[in-house]
Amino acid sequence: MKKETLSKKIKRTQAIEKALHKAFPNPQIALYYENPLQLLISVILSAQCTDVRVNMVTPALFKKYRTAKDFAEAGQSELEIDIHSTGFYRNKAKNIIACCRSLVEQHGGEVPATMEELQALAGVGRKTANCVLGGAFGIPSGIVVDTHVKRIAARLALTDESDPEKVEADLTKLLDKKDWIHFSNALILHGRKTCDARKPLCNECPLASLCPSAVMTTTKRKNA
């Protein structure tokens, strides 16, 4: 197959974004939250855990711990019990307490709205920071690359990379900054609804005509 030029890949990616916008006009983060602090805690809890499980835990958690100060003053063992079902609870509890102590001591208890300040917090990497900046503040700091985005970006031949930050770097070169938040949110929903890891529904996919993997799958089915 002839290698796609950058200009053609940009044009195809823009067409993908247009199709995603039609399929998902206003995609939202699946985590439940009412403010930046709740989103930050939820994203930390979502590591190696489903959003569904996190959403089962956070209503009671946010009723018990209402501010960064509340989390900062929480007992490690007690918080571990509160978040136990999200997995890796010891490390998550440790990070949440340390993170919120920093919020109280350095940011007046408020979640900062810059990449640098967020990444300086315990338990916060680039993916978490992107999610918080986009979801809580509407700031397109980058593209959230979770397992869905990573998988689908590869299937769409938008990147050859496997490292999330390198995947993000490739994707940001292909899209206008104003589309970064929508693209990642929509692609995550698309991954859950249609582009399954094991059995992608290519015949129902609104991106099929723009996806090299879908073309190959359809061809194989016709020749079977």
Count Cβ atoms within 10 A of the Cβ of residue 224 and give its class: 0-12 exposed, 13-18 middle, 19 or more buried: exposed
- Contact status, residue 214 vs residue 52, Cβ threshold 8 Å: no
Residue 6, H or E segment: helix 6-23
Is 146 part of the annotated catalytic residue set?
yes
Could you tell me the two tokens for 93? Answer: 């509890």
- Contact status, residue 196 vs residue 190, Cβ threshold 8 Å: no
- Contact status, residue 150 vs residue 167, Cβ threshold 8 Å: yes
- Contact status, residue 24 vs residue 189, Cβ threshold 8 Å: yes
Catalytic residue among 51, 127, 150, 179: 127
Separation between Cα atoms, residue 13 and residue 150, nearest integer Å: 15
- Residues of the chain by 3-state class (helix, strand, coil), percent to 5: 65, 0, 35
Residue recorded with tokens 């990379």: 161
What DSSP designation does 48 have?
Answer: T
SS3 call for 156: coil
Amino acid at position 172, single letter:
T
Could you tell me the two tokens for 10? Answer: 């940009």
Catalytic residues: 127, 146
